[in-house]
Chains A and B, each alone.
Chain A
Amino acid sequence: MEKTQKRVVTEIEYLGMSGWEKFCHNFVSFFQKLPAVFLRFFTVTIPALALRFWNAFSGIFKKLWIALKNGDWKTRVSFVIMGFGQLARGQIMRGLFYLVFEILFILFMALFGAGQLALFGGPGYTETTAGGWVVGPDGVEHLVPQAVGDNSLLILLYGILTMFFIIAFAYAWYCNIKAAYSAQEMKEAGQALPTAKDDIHSFADGQYHKTLLAIPLLGLVIFTIFPIIFMVFVAFTNYDMEHMPPAHLFQWNGFTNFQAVFGGSLSGGTQFGAVFGSILLWTVIWAFFATFTNYILGMVVAIMINKKGIKLKKLWRTVLIMTVAVPQFVSLLLMSQMLGDYGIINSLLQKWGIISAPIKFLTDGIGAKVTIIVVNIWIGIPYTMLMVSGILMNIPADLYESARIDGAGAFRQYFKITLPYVLHVTTPYLISNFVGNLNNFGVIYLLTGGGPVMTAVGTGGAGETDLLITWLYKLIMDKKTYGVASVISILMFLITAIISLVTYNRSASVKNEEDFM
């Protein structure tokens, strides 16, 4: 009998179900499949990626080995003096480029980089000491000059920058050898080498992507990748209020911050574990409601406006778009003022005698949560409405026609045609919207500022409506516990990354990128 517990629904059985049963079935099977999806992610996707990296990596060394083995002396000298192969074969511009790069790199490392890397282990070893009169061992007061020690923060920053330079240099070195060897091969085959003019030309054509992407990617590296790596390093330090450079050093402290987040407590008595759990829960609840209320209600509004026979379509749309057109921070600040305990809404209701005490829209835990979601609906519906309106016009009219002939009512049509169609097209939007809501700083911070403050002991100023991101903001701006904050941001990253990777890879519109071409 036990074997039948895990019942597999056959296709015929599935088709025989009513709509409600189908929904339940899909709902349950989604969660049943979830572990398998995650398992696949860790057992198939990640190893496959690792294998690809390994192949690419070993490919580099193979090429280097071939260049060393088969290269003539000009190519081999390029291993030490970058650009030599090119210079010796008459590609002056390329050669000079590599040579100057190498000289600059060596100068940088000798004068600066190496010294910073040497201090990276602390980061920094000598503490800054305040000067002043100190009683020496001989019992006489001596004036001790202030000694400026190491600045852990700068050492960390410069250290990572140096690592970036080293990686860039290694890449240039590899390119230099590859180019030198291919120039040798071309010469041996009797082909003409590309001249400087050809090179410049190719940057407008064959290598145009390099020209176009150079600056955007430089920005990406400096303003996104570098800070992320920096924060990952900070997660393993005790950088906080008591270890604030330049007056004090901070040290590597291994996984202490991670332990603090997962249950322990850190200096100052904040129970990070418990707070993290409750804030994470609210963050997910918020993102879920914020995404789906907007989505469903926005779609309903769009359908109403686009319904045949409704006049003044343009007017309704324009009115709704007001919340898109007016800068969001203005609407949010205004709302927070109107909904305050002494705001216009409470004052009016009290004057009319509907309520006797102000409704706590923003100052009560549960109330604030509901208010935030409702205000977010007010802000968010127009976006969905705009988007869905465009899609609705694309749904073939004959689908509805035949449904009507078959006797389907408005609700049936909605659930059988409109919803599936729109859902299919907008899945990527839904996912990115969900992820965006997980990190929706503006709505929460401008409406409630994360408040009201949690009443339990040891919450360290976290608020009832704080999302992880606003909590993070407070940890950094007010408490300056950078180490723990970095751990939280890493965890946030993992959560959002896994959610969206799993769902993105399952949505069809990503796979069929080339279909439209």
Chain B
Amino acid sequence: MAKKFRSKKAVERTTNGVIYVILVVISVIWLIPFVFLVLQSLRGEPGATTNYFFPKQWTFDNYIRLFKNEGVSSSTGEVVSTGSYNFLNWYGRTLLISVCVTVIQTVIVLVTSYALSRLRFKMRKPLMNLMLILGMFPGFMSMTAMYFLLQLLGLTQNMSIVGLILVYVGSSCMGYYICKGFFDTIPKSLDEAARIDGASRHTVFFKIILPLSKPIIIYTILTAFMAPWGEYMFASLIANGDPSYWNVAVGLRDMIQREQLTAYSDSFQRFCAAAVVVSLPITILFFLLQRYYVEGVTGGSVKG
């Protein structure tokens, strides 16, 4: 008996050992690209690629050039202005869009979720089915029509910030799913008690449900804030090819798409610097609010 017990323990130890090895390997795989990104952003040597991992000269020049809106010419190797390929402009535009989208989308999602979770009206079920079906339509197709619509309203190119905000926010009520799932778990007896005391549904929403919903509100804010940063399709469509109206995703893709593999080009290093500048605040924000994100993801899936 004792022997068997010990062997079981040995088996346990070897499995744990194997698992540790796997986890370490996975962690390395997951981290290497990001380490590489940071290292490349600090690389002093010119050229798009190197055949070594660690830079030989360390420098902050890539960041400085990025913020001074300069770049190394891919043909002559001189530092020249990058003109309308202005990273700070892209960054500012994306940040502005992101903040506006966050505010509007959070309100819309909360309001829709409350209505669908707590209020009972005739069109509730049909409405939910409708949104389910609409969600399956390829978003891009509706975007071309929307492009014509925005063009009509004069909201492309130099008004594209407004246009993009409208586009991103426009159908955000369809993302009510996870938030409604959270509201569903708040006991209905709370509402009923308040209703008996004479509170209107409006009061119930603001005085009872919202104060209890901090996790899901933060989750909604976090996801709403992160989404516009990576949005490529519509941002490129609405800018219609003019770099002054891009967002960071379109701009950054162009930066590594355009880089010509010469010995001078610093496009890739500046891309890495830009990527670090874009990612850092978002990543920090994400890790600070990680708990809420996890709760949202888990809750959403469990509830279905």
Binding site for B on A (CB under 8 A): 153-154, 157, 201, 204-206, 208-209, 211-213, 215-217, 219-220, 222-228, 230-231, 234, 301, 304-305, 307, 309-310, 316, 318-331, 333-338, 342-344, 347-348, 350-351, 378, 383, 386-387, 389-391, 394, 410, 425-429, 435, 439, 441-442, 445-446, 468-469, 472-473, 476-477, 482, 485-486, 489, 492-493, 496-497, 500-501, 504, 507, 509-510, 513, 516-517
**Contact (Cβ within 8 A) A493 B137:** yes
Stretch at the interface among B61-69, B71-79, B211-219, B295-303: B295-303
Chain B residues with Cβ under 8 A from A331's Cβ? 33
User: Are B115 and A209 in touch, CB under 8 angstroms?
Assistant: yes
Q: Would you give the shortest CB distance from A218 to chain B, in whole angstroms?
A: 9
Neighbour of B275 across the interface among A330, A445, A489, A516, CB < 8 A: A330
Question: How many angstroms between the C-alpha atoms of A429 and B299 in the bound complex?
Answer: 11
Main secondary structure of the interface of A (DSSP, over half): helix
- B252 with A329: CB separation less than 8 A: yes
Instruction: Find out whether the CB atom of A391 lies under 8 angstroms from the CB atom of B301.
Output: yes
A429 to B177, CA, bound (A): 11
Residues in chain B within 8 A of chain A (CB atoms): 12, 15-16, 19-20, 22-23, 26-27, 29-31, 33-34, 36-37, 48-53, 108, 111-112, 114-115, 119, 121, 124, 127, 131-146, 148-149, 152, 166-167, 169-174, 184-185, 188, 200-203, 205, 226, 229-230, 232-233, 237, 249, 252-253, 256, 261, 268, 271-272, 275, 278-279, 282-283, 286-287, 290, 293-295, 297-304
Shortest A353–chain B CB gap in Å is 12
With most chain B CB atoms within 10 A of its CB, the pick from A301, A325, A330, A351 is A330
Determine the chain B residues whose CB is within 8 A of the CB of A351 once the complex forms.
Answer: 51-52
Please determine whether B144 and A435 come into contact, CB atoms closer than 8 angstroms.
Answer: no
Complex contact B23–A391 (CB within 8 A): no
A206-B201, A319-B26, A330-B37 are known; give 20 further A-B pairs, CB within 8 A: A212-B111, A213-B127, A224-B171, A227-B144, A228-B137, A304-B19, A321-B286, A325-B279, A327-B282, A328-B230, A342-B261, A344-B51, A386-B297, A390-B299, A435-B135, A439-B138, A439-B140, A445-B232, A472-B141, A496-B136
A269 to B301, CA, bound (A): 47
Contacts A321-B290, A326-B283, A333-B252 hold; do A212 and B114 have CB atoms under 8 A apart? yes
B12 to chain A, nearest CB (A): 7
Bound complex: CA of A435 vs CA of B241, how far in Å?
Answer: 30
A220 touches B232 (CB 8 A): no
- Choose among A204, A211, A224, A439 the residue that contacts B170 (Cβ–Cβ < 8 A): A224
Q: How far is the CB of B95 from chain A (nearest CB, A)?
A: 13
- B115 contacts across to A, CB distance below 8 A: 208-209, 212-213
Give CA–CA (A504, B101) in the complex, Å: 30
Q: Are B145 and A231 in contact (CB under 8 A)?
A: yes
In the complex, what's the smallest C-beta–C-beta distance from A107 to chain B, in angstroms? 20
Interface pair A504/B132, CB less than 8 Å apart: yes
